A and B are shown apart, each in its own frame.
Chain A
Amino acid sequence: MNKTLKLPQALEDALLCANHSTSRRNFLKSSGALVIAVGVNAIPGGKVLAQAAAAGPYPDPDFLELDTWILLHPDNTATFFVGKTDGGQGTGTAFRQMMCDELDIAYDKTSLVMGSTDATPDQGGSGGSDAIERDGWPMRRVAAEARRVLLELASEHLDTPVAELAVSNATVSVRTDPAKSVTYAELVGGQRFDIALQGDNINATRGVASVKPVNELRVVGQSIQRYDVPPKVDGSLTWASDVKLPGMVHARNVRPPVAGAVLKSIDASSVDELPGFIQVVSRGNYVAVICEREEQAIAAARKLQAKWEPPAEAPFPASDDLFNFMRSAVPVSSREPVLQGDPDAALAAANRVIEADYEVPFQGHTAIGPAHALADPSNDQMTIYSNDMKSYGLRNGVAKFLDMPRDRVRVIYMDGPQVYGRTAADDAGFEAAFLAHELGRPVRVQWTRDEETAWDTKGPAYTFRMRGGLDADGNVVALEYDARAADYNHVGYNEPDTVLIAQLMGIRPANPASGNAATPSSHYAIPNQRMTGRVVSLPMIWETPLRTGNLRDPNGPQVTFAFESFIDELAAVARVDPIDFRLGLLEGSNEGEMFLRARSIATIRAAAEAYGWDSRPSPNAPVPDHQGPILPGRGIAYTYRNGTVATTIAEVEVNRESGRVWVKRLVCAHDCGLVVNPTGLRHTVECAMLHGLSRALWEEVRFDNEKVTSVDWASHPSLRHSDTPESIDVVLVNGDPNPDRPDLPPYGAGEGSHKPMIAAVANAIYDATGVRLRRAPFRRERVLAALQASST
Chain B
Amino acid sequence: MSVVSLRVNGKTHEVDIDPTTPLLYVLRNDLGLQGPRFGCGLGQCGSCTVIVDGVATRSCITPASRAGGEITTLEGLAKDGQLDPLQQAWIDEQVPQCGYCQNGQILTARALLDRNPNPTDAEIREGMEGVLCRCMTYFRIQAAIKRAAREAGE
Contact = CB atoms under 8 A, between A and B. Distances in A.
**Do A and B truly interact?**
yes
Interface of A: 45-47, 87-89, 225-226, 228-230, 232-239, 241-242, 244, 275, 293-295, 298, 366-370, 415-419, 446, 448-449, 679-680, 683-684, 686-687, 689-691, 693-694, 712-714, 718-726, 728
Given A88-B97, A294-B29, A712-B40, A234 B135 contact: no
Interface in B96-147: 96-103, 106, 121, 124-126, 128-142
A45 B31 contact: yes
Contacts of B31: 45
Contact of A235 (B75, B131, B140): B75
B5 interface: no
A232 B135 contact: no
16 contacts: A46-B29, A232-B99, A235-B74, A244-B32, A294-B29, A366-B134, A368-B47, A369-B47, A415-B99, A418-B98, A449-B40, A684-B97, A686-B140, A689-B136, A713-B45, A714-B44
Contact of B91 (A233, A679, A689, A718): A233
Nearest to A684: B97
Contacts of B47: 368-369
Contacts of A46: 29-30, 32
Contacts of B128: 721
A244 B30 CA distance: 11
Given A234-B74, A234-B75, A683 B91 contact: no
Contacts of A298: 41
B125 A712 contact: no
Nearest to B32: A47
Contact of A225 (B32, B94, B142): B94
A239 B24 CA distance: 16
B34 A237 contact: yes
Contacts of A725: 139
A601 to B, nearest CB: 28
B75 to A, nearest CB: 4
A418 B74 CA distance: 20
A229 B95 contact: yes
Contact of B102 (A232, A419, A712): A232
Interface of B: 1, 15, 18, 21-22, 25, 28-35, 37-42, 44-45, 47, 73-75, 77-78, 83, 87, 90-91, 94-103, 106, 121, 124-126, 128-142
A618 B153 CA distance: 45
Given A45-B31, A233-B99, A235-B73, 9 more contacts: A46-B30, A89-B97, A229-B94, A293-B25, A368-B135, A369-B100, A449-B44, A686-B140, A720-B130
Contacts of A235: 33-35, 73-75, 77, 103
Which one of A233, A236, A449 has the highest number of Cβ atoms from chain B below 10 Å of its Cβ? A233
Contacts of B106: 233
Given A366-B134, A368-B134, A713-B45, A724 B142 contact: yes
B40 A713 contact: yes
Contacts of B140: 683, 686
A687 B142 CA distance: 13
Contact of B75 (A228, A236, A239): A236
B110 to A, nearest CB: 12
Contacts of B102: 232-233
A233 B96 contact: yes
Contacts of A230: 91
Contacts of B28: 242, 294
A690 B87 contact: no
Given A46-B32, A229-B94, A233-B96, A241 B75 contact: no
Nearest to A369: B100
B129 A721 contact: yes
Nearest to B97: A88
A448 B39 CA distance: 8
A238 B33 CA distance: 10
A461 B2 CA distance: 51
Nearest to A717: B132
Nearest to A677: B94
Contact of A370 (B32, B38, B99, B141): B38
Contact of A416 (B98, B125, B126): B98
B82 to A, nearest CB: 11
Contacts of A687: 97, 135-137
Contacts of B74: 234-235
Lowest 6 CB-CB distances: which A-B pairs, in order? A47-B32, A232-B99, A690-B136, A88-B97, A235-B74, A88-B98
Nearest to B21: A295
Contacts of B99: 88, 228-229, 232-233, 237, 415
B39 A368 contact: yes
Given A46-B32, A234-B74, A226 B135 contact: no
B134 A234 contact: no
Contacts of A228: 96, 99
B100 A719 contact: no
Contacts of A722: 125-126, 129
Contacts of A244: 29, 32
B96 A225 contact: no
Nearest to A368: B134
A677 to B, nearest CB: 10
Contact of B136 (A229, A693, A714): A693
A295 B39 contact: no
Contact of A713 (B75, B94, B132): B132
Contacts of B96: 88, 228-229, 232-233
Contacts of B32: 45-47, 244
Contacts of B44: 449, 712-714
A127 to B, nearest CB: 16
B97 A449 contact: no
Contacts of B22: 295
Contacts of A694: 136
A728 B142 CA distance: 12
B138 A418 contact: no
A242 B34 contact: yes
Most chain A CB neighbours (cut-off 10 Å) among B31, B45, B134:
B134
Nearest to A679: B94
Query: Which of A230, A368, A691: most chain B CB closer than 10 A?
Result: A368
A312 B39 CA distance: 35
A326 to B, nearest CB: 27
A418 to B, nearest CB: 5
Contacts of B30: 45-46
Nearest to B64: A295
Most chain-B Cβ atoms within 10 A of its Cβ — which of A238, A680, A720, A725? A720
